[in-house]
Structure 1
């Protein structure tokens, strides 16, 4: 059996042995960035059966693009370490996947804006986290100084944007936390389980947000969450939520997860401390955290007037869950007006 080599490692060798010699003295940056599990470092041997092989982006000055592109097109071998250089998938015609472009053009096409010219609040909010990961998480094979500043600028949200998004994520939990009990009470046991699963997912995304880690798309959300540190047993509690057959067990595990997140929130020290203990939902027999208290604490620290005026819809990942929208730059950019009061 052939030992699996990650696309990051394959790309490093491919760049050093094939691409770098072709570029000569041309200033450039190169890396495995953009789309794909391999950019995130999540590819496995299974990944090699579908759209996988040597690929990378080469960033040069605008007046060098065509010359470098032609040099690469004309001199690529057919194989590298036994892997076809030109490959496709599904209806995709096999082509090579060495993209030669400028940093500005690629950022505009990938994100919808040129991050080298600054990042507005609305740009942060309308850009899916997976797209930001496509810039900040991939392997870098060469850099003449044009790639590192962009990756650093996009590494994480400004504090005001982060606080506002935390408020929005807490709000999502607060809006539905009493419904797990209420649906079960009327005999909708399936609905109660579905709501519990939704809330578990929201807690996972809140954990990533608190840890200053962008959330990848759904296939890898659990993997990213698992790679966080959970000495407080959050992962175990969420597993118990999903495994629970009875409301009492489901609610106990959910409330335990909420209290863990409340303590994590306080440990960040970014807002005034909030009582992390659970409580009864008004006069009803549901146990909740009262997540709206954490919403208020976050909003109290937001200073950006634009964010202070916005409804708590959240970033695009927090209000939309459609793959075609979140992976199509032109589509999600059409929604930027939500943030332009």
Structure 2
């Protein structure tokens, strides 16, 4: 099987190297045998390789911008070096008969640590103190520990489950929200998306990490924001489209919510002069919560090789994406 890695030059994510590939193959043992590898950085590299490739490791930007015009007759698998596939649901970018995979599972540890940090920041009023620092205002406000407090996580997949595990370690009561109410080992309870309204009034920390689908678009809308207690905080590391953003910013500016940490926004990047830069009690980060330059690509390659082993054995592929569902 011939594998080609096509790095994107400008997406800001870690780039795969041949050294990382060979290290992953060595870790994989038998699973990594019989694979030919090439790696590209430019459009010319892609054009030279794609005609003979059976499996492509790349980003959705490459799939959207380069693949439609390519002759990829031998292509069987596309493995994305990220989890989100929402941009690929907006067109016919995947050739017929080609299976799409993502790297779900590579982000859990880093994203969960970021979410824990964000919850701790909110619990200790850090957005407020950041505002006061800029205003040269010394005004104390005491904070309580996380033990016994209530968190709700929208999206209990690989990342959401890892976040729940951390929050439980701090003694929190964790409610998970997902498509079905199937129990999760790190949640005290799980409710379906249709039960979200009932749990928001008791939620002190709301963490959003669901995929972007038509069903999750603005799942935190103005009405649901109004259901949260005034002392609640919001963390979004999923997609900006999951939140009715102006409604959230209104609530922060009006003191109807205590704070927020947003790693994803609409739009991205945030342009100069946008109200996001000036909203009170808000910490803003540039979509970096899950990217670990030391582990992101190695873990992604390990996941790819696990899927290759399943493909060769005729087993279901663990990371297969259903574009109709959006994940």
Q: TM-score, normalised by structure 1?
A: 0.25
The structure with the largest alpha-carbon Rg is: 1
**Higher fraction of helix:** 1
Q: TM-score, normalised by structure 2?
A: 0.26
**Higher fraction of strand:** 2
